[in-house]
Amino acid sequence: MASLDRSLIAGLSIFEGMAAADLDRMVGQARSARIAKDHLIFEQEQDAHSFFLLLDGHVRVVRSTPEGQDVTVRYISPGELLGIAHALGRATYPANAIAAVDCVVLAWPSQLWPTFAANFPSFTANTYKSVGTRLQDAHTRVVEMSTEQVEQRIAHALLKLVKQSGRKTEEGILIDFPISRQDIAEMTGTTLHTVSRLLSAWEGQGLVKSGRQKVTVVEPHRLLLVAEGRVEKG
């Protein structure tokens, strides 16, 4: 294994406020791994042996129901933690984590968590702050599902993805990993058919451009109007 170096992680906001020596100590206990596209990083219900930091790539976190329906909980971007079940008092992973593209992660054994929590207070505080954000996000999503039409939910989902992983191109802002109609449906509690129809309609109005596993938002501002339900349907 190539030796790991604190330069991998210094500068990530989750490590903000940590001394260089402490960063070295953390990196020293990590192993790195590459995960090929479409492979699992961890699996729902399984023993939460490790927690992870995504260094490169994009990860989809999916909860599967007993009936076999999948619901996407969130997408993880580089610099974020995942699989921190132990920090939240759980012994198993609550969902599947799937590499949306080839990924690189750092992994620590879960039993190190208590030591890290005791010795690296800013890391701990930063982690819980991000857990707080996730809790807010989850509640926001419950509110959206309770009060908004499908059209608004899909618009909100695209805007969230754009904010999180948008890359500027000459056509607009591209969501920077492969994402299918089905994936968007699983984020918004609808079907790929409805997503397809709406994207087609929006493409007709010049709001977005999209293709096979690819979505570019051309007019974020007008899409936001749709998301907020402040637009009449043509």
Contact residues: DNA, CB under 7 A = 149-151, 180-182, 189-194, 196-197, 199-200, 210-214
Determine which residue in the list 78, 79, 178, 189 makes contact with a second copy, applying CB under 8 A.
189
Buried b (16+ CB within 10 A) or exposed e, 173-193: bbbbbebebebbbbbbebeee
Chain mean position to CA 140 = 15
Q: Is 91 in the site for a second copy (CB under 8 A)?
A: no
Question: Which of a second copy, DNA, none does residue 95 bind (CB under 5 to 8 Å by kind)?
Answer: a second copy
Q: How far is the CB of 100 from DNA (least distance, A)?
A: 11
Q: How far is the CB of 38 from a second copy (least distance, A)?
A: 22
Question: Which of DNA, a second copy, none does residue 132 bind (CB under 5 to 8 Å by kind)?
Answer: a second copy
Question: Which of a second copy, DNA, none does residue 193 bind (CB under 5 to 8 Å by kind)?
Answer: DNA
Question: Which of DNA, a second copy, none does residue 210 bind (CB under 5 to 8 Å by kind)?
Answer: DNA
Query: Which CB atom, from 159 or from 174, has the smaller least distance to a second copy?
Result: 159
Query: Which CB atom, from 50 or from 188, has the smaller least distance to DNA?
Result: 188
Determine which residue in the list 28, 145, 169, 204 makes contact with a second copy, applying CB under 8 A.
145
Q: How far is the CB of 149 from DNA (least distance, A)?
A: 3
Question: Which of a second copy, DNA, none does residue 199 bind (CB under 5 to 8 Å by kind)?
Answer: DNA
Beta bridge partners of 103: 35
Q: Is 147 in the site for a second copy (CB under 8 A)?
A: yes
Query: Which CB atom, from 109 or from 132, has the smaller least distance to a second copy?
Result: 132
Q: Is 69 in the site for a second copy (CB under 8 A)?
A: yes
Q: Is 63 in the site for a second copy (CB under 8 A)?
A: yes
3-state secondary structure the chain: CCCCCHHHCCCCHHHCCCCHHHHHHHHHCCEEEEECCCCEEECCCCECCEEEEEEECCEEEEEECCCCCEEEEEEECCCCEECCHHHHCCCECCCEEEECCCEEEEEEEHHHHHHHHHHCHHHHHHHHHHHHHHHHHHHHHHHHHHHCCHHHHHHHHHHHHHHHHEEECCCCEEECCCCCHHHHHHHHCCCHHHHHHHHHHHHHCCCEEEECCEEEECCHHHHHHHHCCCCCCC
Question: Which of a second copy, DNA, none does residue 73 bind (CB under 5 to 8 Å by kind)?
Answer: a second copy
Tokens of 54: 């995504």
